[in-house]
Amino acid sequence: MSDHQTETHSPAPMPADPADSVRAEVQREYATKLVQAELRAQAAQAGIKLGEGFTDYLDASKLLGEDGTPSAEAIAKALEPLKPAEPEFPQIKGMGYYPGPPFRSTPRVSLDVRKR
């Protein structure tokens, strides 16, 4: 018996699907553009006006999730300081019905002759 027959040849490992590697590369390439688009969309929904070229100065990698897609939580956290403050209106009484004592500046004088 020859040792040649007892050797086992394992087949070469099959490479992963080539489409997966292409998808991953495309996702990495367009991840920053997708983050910028998501950032602009969330800012518009929150009523925030971003300056021209504002998204160019951001590090988009900080706004990506673990899976490489834009993280809504991270984007919301980045936009939090830019949200406009709610206007504070003073509590004043304007026109309308307010129950209470009638407003009298001077005492009334009866015009009835019998009560004078």
The residues, ordered by sequence, that sit 6+ positions from 32 with a Cβ below 8 Å of its Cβ are: 60, 61
Predicted pLDDT at 16: 63
Predicted pLDDT at 52: 84
Q: What does the mean pLDDT of the chain come to?
A: 77
pTM of the model: 0.55
Separation CA 35–CA 59 (nearest Å):
10
The residues, ordered by sequence, that sit 6+ positions from 18 with a Cβ below 8 Å of its Cβ are: none
Q: Which is nearest to 76 in space by CA: 35, 107, 108, 105? A: 35
| pLDDT confidence tier of residue 93, bands split at 50, 70 and 90 | low
